[in-house]
A and B are shown apart, each in its own frame.
Chain A
Amino acid sequence: MSGPNTNYDPVEVSALDPANVDAAVQDALSAIAAAASLDDLKAVRIAHQGEKSPLALANREIGALPPSAKAEAGKRVGQARGRVGQALTARQAELEAERDERILVEERVDVTVPALRREPGARHPIELVAQRLVDAFVGMGWEVAEGPELESEWLNFDALNLGPDHPARQMQDTFFLDPVDSGLVLRTQTSPVQIRTMLEKEPPIYIVAPGKVFRTDDLDATHTPVFHQIECLAIDKGLTMAHLRGALDAFVRIMFGEETRTRVRANYFPFTEPSMETDFLCFACHGEETWGSAEPCRTCGGSGWIELGGSGMVNRKVLRTCGIDPDVYSGFAFGLGIERALQLRHGVQGMHEIVEGDVRFSQQFGMGV
């Protein structure tokens, strides 16, 4: 390092010569512009901004100048270093941006290769359809009731006004248990849940009862010995068939869309009096009658309507059996097969795929329908 320059001779301090300072700046700027990579730029930074760079050396000489010359020289060198510093920063940003962009390109992968390392699971659509119906009714203020599948004969038949000699009892092909006088059967309907509820709970009662039921039918395209029903029971003061119809309408709208219309007609069920059969307008052909034509509608069979299921006002005998005063309370009940709802709503053609347990069947439906 030079000592204090007592004998001021500006000419001898060539590093501070304006031309030299400019040259150093120009050198630095060209080197910065020429730096092709962040590493190059790092070397340029050391060479032109480092402790041994021309401008740093020039800066050191300022201290030795007489006070009258210090200000001018200091300003000149400071501006020069500022220009170099700005250029470095700008180039640094440019090169970083270039690098970042390049990395993104280099890191490209093909995201269309398989990503699922484990096949996802699925719920069975029968359960999902049941949940959907249940949820809709729960949303309207109903509650869910359940009961055993192996049930007392009395609860499955007698209490429902199906005495031992009733013709309707023969229509239901029942699985009896051994010994046959055990008074136990595999329930043929979810209706015993209604009886249990009425025996255990004071009205008002608004319940929906989904569940598995059993009949001695061999498996074919339309029958299965084990299937699922969902039934609704309402017991309250002042309920009429109009309320029954209202509940049925809600039911079909939930399942088949807001536009679904119903028609009702008389039918017979021992559990109810009066009884009612409900049809809803076929959603496939929209009620076009195609009976006897060469291509009758495959969804409704050509009648334009689809049978929903039986319903009616709970028979007074049944209310009495359950200890409910039929002069105070009235109620209605209705039900339908969940398999049928699944078939209709999701275009399931036969019964086999519903019951066989082939994983492909459930997997079509995922976790909710």
Chain B
Amino acid sequence: MRMPLSWLAEYTDLAPGARGADVAASLVRVGLEEEDLHGGDITGPLVVGRVLSFELEPQKNGKTIRWCTVDVGQNGQMLTEGKHQEIVCGAHNFEVGDLVVCVLPGAVLPGGFAIAARKTYGHVSNGMICAEDEIGLGHDHEGIIVLSRLLGEEKAATVQPGDDAIALLGLGEETVETNVTPDRGYCFSVRGLAREYWHAQGSPEGGYRDPADVAAPPATAGGYPVELKENSPIDGNDGCDRYVARIVRGIDPTRPSPAWMSKRLTQMGMRPISLAVDVTNYVMLAVGQPLHAFDVDRLSGSIVVRRARVGEKLTTLDDVERTLHADDLLITDGGEQPLAIAGVMGGASSEVTDATTDVLIEAAHFDPTTVARSSRRHRLVTEASKRFERGVDPKVTAAAAQLAVDLLVEHGGGTVDDGVTDVDRTTERTAYLLDVTEPARIVGVDYPRERVVGILRDLGCRVDESGEGADETHVLVTPPSWRPDLVDAPDYAEEVARIDGYNNIPSITPTPSDGRGLTHEQKARRVVADALAGAGLTEVLSYPFVSEELADQLMLPADDDRRAAVRLANPLSEERPLLRTSVLASLVDTLRRNVARGHKDVAIYELGLVFRPGGPLGTAPIPGVAARPDAGTLEQLYAAVPAQPRRAGILATGQAEQAGWWGPGRAADWSDMVAAVQTAAAALAVPVVVANDPGHAPWHPGRCARITLADGTLVGHAGELHPKVIAALDLPARTVAAEFDVDVLVAASAEPVQARAFSTFPPAMTDIALLVATDVAAADVEAALRSGAGDSLESVVLFDVYEGERIEAGHRSLAYRLTFRAADRTLTTDEVNGFRDAAVAAAATATGAVQR
């Protein structure tokens, strides 16, 4: 919401010498965040110009500039030696004959930009033609300002080349723009902002002049007939509880809005259109009451406010035909023809036109929820809907209508009908019994009773210190009509703190007493993440949005759980509507991006949640919020949220170890991925078992390891990706990958590690070579050796694998070093040989291994 300082000064006294920044700072103190400052920091000459001609001149940099000749009037020519001004302009949104805004040499634009004649693109350009942002009028830099579009044709017809554009556009004074939070609907008006500014100055006596404090006549017979028909209130609230209608007849449609009004509307960021429309907008900005102007001649019956019928249609002012919903509240002509979606937007059929002479002014109070829903349903956010959904003062209605009537009569030459319609079903707010010590308890500042009462009165509350229930610590508070947000003690506490000053709140560090530190899970997760980084992998984060084709590209079987993905109803891109069911699914994009940026050797990982509904999505209940939902409902609620296991994904390509002075490098291969998972498991001291897995997508069937806990619980998979997957996803050849369930490792590490005693006697080592068929897994051979070797076995290390001419085809030789050590003695050679033979025998039985 914007506010020129001159307008603010009409309703309250500005602090002496206050500039825009001071006003903004005052408003910040009472909780209104500053958004921007406009105007005030510009010095002319800034004049109206008319484009007389231009030549297109293509430039070497690919741009085409316009070399323009612009009539800047007598005033401008004084600066250009009596000639028309010659200006280089890069914009293309104007035609010959358009009125534009020219800044001439000697001027200083916002930000301290001094303008001088300067040589550019081979010409001497005498200033420039301005865009909105360059003169602090707005943020638009799409093109330059064309006055007929900014001010409207009518208004533009009244200005001449050479006119002072600073005055014309109100740039001479500062306009403060503030951000209005949803609870402060009343601050969507100069009335409300002025009130807040007055509070920021300490609410001095007599320092605030309410613009809505005008005499408005009560309802009379003979007003325009209005009926409020409510058949389906939302949450017990009528869609419309107040409707004021006033008629002004005989307005001269050729009369423009007064210059001061056009200027203010421009300063507020609105476009002047016609007197009737401008008046409704002006009054809305002044007092926060959205108004609508109907052309009386285009109405045939009484005004009936009712909910829409299913299938009913209305073409709104923006020329969109809208199919209405039964909850939409309508203004209708005689109960039939829809005229407007209440509080959102009017229809084209009853719009005021440039021939309208008789105008019906609607000032109504609509239910915030009704308006909010319609606005959302039709994706139509308007100045009116913004205000209604945040709450409009139900007592300002008649005054707003009166202000509009007065302006139409004064500037349009019309006369007002005697008949006044004011259907008022609003109810009085009830008083709240406030414990005056409550603000102190909530805020932590010891506010005396008089301070609390004083602040509430300044805010416009009625404070009754003697009514029923009032005592030394309690008062009855009735909030002002414009503050629907004030309901209970915390609301009042915030007001007291806000007006007294938030910065008076002291700082006391809270001291919780029973913190137990990170949970095992939280610590273990960090251990895994650190271990992977320690193993040379770089952690990255990826978006979890994936395409529908990805499941096929990853060659997931038809019945794979990972195909059951959650779908977004409103994805950012239709190409990626699904949520990932594995981390690799989104990590492949990150790998590709790194490779595309020229990184040849990349090893990345991500820890994150994946979304595994395991079937169609359930429906989560939406219980009420008045009390804690019952246990059954909560259980349903939690159960409806799909499983989201935390997994780690790893991808690598290129060299795992670099070539250097030490010798050649080593390409990342399947074993690096198995090792990474083992590293993570080892970091948590969790033993894992590795097996060949010939059938798990997206891995190479001959190069995929299935990694499990000792009890068989699946941890994850590691190896080289399937060549077809690599091709489909456009990854580097031989890309390797792993994915594992972090939760499984974390759970497996929950029990404290129990220490083993170890022997201090010397070890005995013996080497064996076993001939086995190539389809026998080394892990199986090792398991058999372990099972046969007895309790003295300390370790088994596979130190060589040989396949080749020297041994039988279809076989390979596995060379193991067995280390034995007894707890209580030095082993003899005979003992060791016996253990070795038993181990070999076990391997022979289990795997057909033959000792060489």
What residues make up the interface of A, taking CB atoms closer than 8 Å to B? 113-114, 116-124, 126-127, 131, 134, 138, 140-144, 146, 148-155, 158-159, 161, 163, 165-168, 170-171, 175-184, 186, 199, 204, 206, 212, 216, 218, 225-226, 234, 236, 239-243, 245-250, 262-268, 270, 273-277, 289, 291-294, 313, 315-317, 320-323, 330, 354-360, 362-363, 367
Could you list 18 A-B pairs, sorted by A, with CB under 8 Å? A120-B536, A143-B515, A150-B641, A175-B570, A176-B568, A178-B568, A182-B618, A184-B617, A186-B568, A204-B513, A234-B512, A241-B443, A265-B30, A266-B30, A266-B497, A275-B494, A357-B540, A359-B599
Which B residues are in CB contact (< 8 Å) with A167? 182, 372, 389-390
CB-based contact B658/A363 at 8 Å: no
Nearest Cβ distance between residue B14 and chain A, in whole angstroms? 19
**Do residues A152 and B637 form an inter-chain contact, with CB atoms below 8 A?**
yes
**B623 contact from A131, A154, A170, A263, Cβ within 8 A:** A154
Partner of A153, one of B571, B579, B622: B622
- Are A357 and B442 closer than 8 Å at their CB atoms? no
| Chain B residues, CB < 8 A from A199 | 628, 634
Contact call B609/A204, Cβ cutoff below 8 A: no
A277 to B502, CA, bound (A): 10
How far is B571's CA from A175's CA once the two chains are assembled, in angstroms? 7
CA distance A116 to B659 in the complex (A): 11
CB pair B594–A359 under 8 Å, yes or no, is yes
Q: Is A138 touching B518 in the complex (CB atoms < 8 A)?
A: yes
Point out the residues of chain A lying under 8 angstroms from B657, CB to CB.
117-118
The segment from B98-106, B345-353, B525-533 found at the interface with A is: B525-533
Looking at chain B, what size class is its interface with the partner chain? 35 or more
Q: List the 4 closest A-B pairs by CB distance, nearest first.
A: A266-B31, A240-B444, A274-B494, A323-B628
Q: Which residues of B contact A159 (CB under 8 A)?
A: 625
Query: CB within 8 Å of A: which of B653-667?
Result: 656-658, 660-662
A240 contacts B443, C-beta separation under 8 Å: yes
Sample of 13 more A-B contacts, CB < 8 Å, known A113-B661, A122-B533, A216-B570: A113-B660, A121-B603, A122-B538, A124-B539, A124-B540, A148-B609, A265-B29, A265-B502, A268-B182, A277-B33, A316-B490, A357-B589, A357-B594
Closest to A270 in B: B182
Q: Are B368 and A121 in contact (CB under 8 A)?
A: no
A121 to B680, CA, bound (A): 14
Complex Cα spacing A119 to B13, Å: 67
- Chain A's closest residue to B40 (CB) is A292
Contacts of B541 in A (CB 8 A): 124, 126, 226, 354-355, 357
Q: Which of B503-511, B728-736, B756-764 participates in binding chain A?
A: B503-511
B117 at the interface (CB under 8 A from A): no
Q: Report yes or no: A168 in contact with B182, Cβ–Cβ below 8 A.
A: yes
Q: Is B852 an interface residue (CB 8 A)?
A: no
Q: Does B621 sit at the interface, judged by CB under 8 A?
A: yes
Given A266-B497, A274-B490, A292-B111, A121:B503 Cβ within 8 A: no
Q: Are B490 and A141 in touch, CB under 8 angstroms?
A: no
Residue numbers in A under 8 Å from B792 (CB-CB): none
Is residue B313 within 8 Å, beta carbon to beta carbon, of the partner chain?
no
A294 and chain B: residue at smallest CB distance: B112
B119 within 8 A of A: no
A243: B residues at CB distance < 8 A? 444, 508-510
Asked if residues A141 and B543 are in contact (CB atoms below 8 Å), the reply is: no
Given A158-B625, A183-B640, A274-B442, answer yes or no on A265-B593 (Cβ-Cβ < 8 Å). Answer: no
> Nearest-CB distance from B638 to chain A (Å)?
8
* Interface status of B268 (Cβ within 8 A of chain A): no
Inter-subunit contact B515/A206 (CB<8 Å) = yes
Minimum distance in angstroms from A96 CB to a CB of chain B: 32
Pick from A141, A152, A264, A317: contact of B620, CB under 8 Å: A152
Contact B533 A367, beta carbon cutoff 8 Å = yes
Closest to A249 in B: B507
- CB contact between A140 and one of B512, B579, B634 (< 8 Å): that residue: B512
B205 is an interface residue with CB less than 8 A from chain A: no
